[in-house]
């Protein structure tokens, strides 16, 4: 059976660096940090009191009324906003399309914690009869895909992924395969997250996973740097419109890039820690390159998972060396989490958008806050300043709790 070629024609971003694609991308190229003192709630009792929060988001700009937003948690609002951006960017006139051939696959690592906290308090103080009838629809992660489909009338394949920090990449990879095999003509795909709450921050603090560089928030996320001490919690969304090349050509769409490879694996090692040999991540990269029919030396840029935690950055470096051999020292590697913080389930969606823009713009975003080289992290991390470079092929890595690994390969469309 002939497989469809799949291209990227629309991008949407809500991030700590900006509430659209151009603003977020320019901030990354400029090496700006979206991290600051945590403003959502009083965090004085927490070990980590910093976060990369979305700022100035207005759901009304995307047609959401106050009634809508009372029934939609932030992660769902971000998804609707990003889908609106991506569909508009793709130049789609949905009334002219067969909506039964357009699907949605949006994931979230956690979904809503805020509504659980709020309604649990109601339950304790007033009893079960006072619980909101919207509690369940507001907290379940598939509602992001559901609301986007309802909002745009998209009746094709619809699903949701929840694989922790690998979620966004798995969602895009699964959507790619749905189109490739002909089960849909177009898909809106990616990840969304908003769980900067008492429980969310408290839980990650209890894991000792977060940076406690509270006195210098913009310096806190420092992937691959010797002085890294944990990741910075972030929120936001990154979505793309994927479609068959044939359909994109028929409607004369702008094509950002072509998605050509998807690899996934499991460490099967530990509930939070990565495999000590980097085996799982390495196999995901190898599988993605095999799927793309590309050799390691053809890859120009790797958007690394790069969380700024001691183990992740060390072992992702090992995994890249295992997968790329001698080319590992030549390929450009950067972690945009140094600027955005860690968007958890939305990270892979945002970072795939970054890869598409790196190809289009010929610019590799930097790893900021890279000040003290770590002898165990010895690749070209594009330190501190973005780099103009010809980018024809890049990969995006996402490595999640539970040992979930996902790698996407995207290349310049020819």
User: Known catalytic residues?
Assistant: 165, 305, 342
In whole angstroms, what is the distance from residue 335 CA to residue 341 CA? Answer: 10
259 sits in which H/E element: strand 257-266
3-class SS at 237?
strand
In whole angstroms, what is the distance from residue 400 CA to residue 278 CA? Answer: 13
292 sits in which H/E element: helix 279-292
359 sits in which H/E element: helix 347-361
Please report which residue ranges of 12-91 form alpha helices under DSSP H.
21-29, 66-70, 74-89
Q: How far is CA 199 from CA 24, 67, 163, 178, in A?
A: 28, 26, 19, 35
Q: What is the residue-wise DSSP string for 94-130?
A: GGGS-GGGEEEEEE-SS--SHHHHHHHHHHHHH-GGG
Angle between helices 198-206 and 114-126 (to 10 degrees): 110
Region of 308 on the Ramachandran plot (φ > 0 left; ψ -120 to 50 alpha; else beta): left
């Amino acid at each position: 059976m002939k497989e469809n070629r799949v291209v990227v024609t629309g991008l949407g971003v809500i991030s700590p660096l900006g509430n659209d694609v151009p603003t977020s991308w320019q901030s990354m190229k400029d090496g700006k940090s979206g991290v600051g003192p945590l403003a959502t709630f009083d965090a004085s009792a927490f070990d980590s009191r910093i976060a990369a929060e979305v700022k100035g988001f207005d759901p009304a700009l995307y047609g959401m009324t106050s009634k809508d937003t009372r029934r939609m948690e932030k992660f769902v609002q971000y998804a609707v906003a990003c889908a609106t951006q991506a569909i508009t960017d793709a130049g789609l006139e949905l009334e002219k399309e067969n909506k039964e051939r357009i699907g949605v696959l949006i994931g979230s690592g956690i979904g809503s914690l805020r509504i659980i906290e709020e309604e649990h308090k109601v339950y304790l103080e007033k009893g079960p009869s006072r619980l909101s009838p919207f509690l369940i629809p507001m907290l379940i992660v598939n509602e992001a895909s559901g609301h986007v489909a309802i909002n745009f009338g998209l009746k094709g394949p619809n699903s949701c992924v929840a694989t922790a920090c690998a979620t966004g990449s798995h969602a895009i990879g699964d959507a790619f395969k749905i189109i490739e095999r002909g089960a849909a003509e177009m898909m809106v795909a990616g990840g969304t997250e908003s769980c900067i709450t008492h429980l969310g921050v408290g839980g990650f603090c209890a894991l000792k996973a977060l940076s406690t560089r509270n006195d210098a928030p913009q310096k806190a996320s420092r992937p691959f740097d010797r002085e890294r001490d944990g990741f910075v919690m972030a929120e936001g969304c990154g979505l793309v419109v994927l479609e068959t090349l044939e359909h994109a050509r028929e409607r004369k769409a702008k094509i950002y890039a072509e998605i050509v490879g998807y690899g996934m694996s499991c460490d099967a090692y530990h509930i939070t820690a990565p495999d000590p040999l980097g085996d799982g991540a390495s196999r995901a990269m190898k599988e993605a390159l095999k799927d793309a029919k590309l050799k390691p030396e053809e890859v120009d840029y790797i958007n690394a998972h790069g969380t700024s935690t001691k183990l992740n950055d060390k072992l992702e470096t090992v995994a890249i060396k295992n997968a790329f051999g001698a080319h590992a020292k030549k390929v450009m590697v950067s972690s945009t989490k140094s600027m955005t913080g860690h968007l958890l389930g939305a990270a892979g969606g945002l970072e795939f958008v970054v890869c598409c823009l790196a190809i289009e713009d010929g610019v590799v975003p930097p790893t900021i806050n890279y000040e003290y080289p770590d002898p165990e992290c010895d690749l070209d991390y594009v330190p501190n300043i973005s780099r103009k470079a010809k980018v024809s092929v890049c990969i995006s890595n996402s490595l999640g709790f539970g040992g979930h690994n996902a790698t996407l390969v995207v290349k310049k469309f020819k």
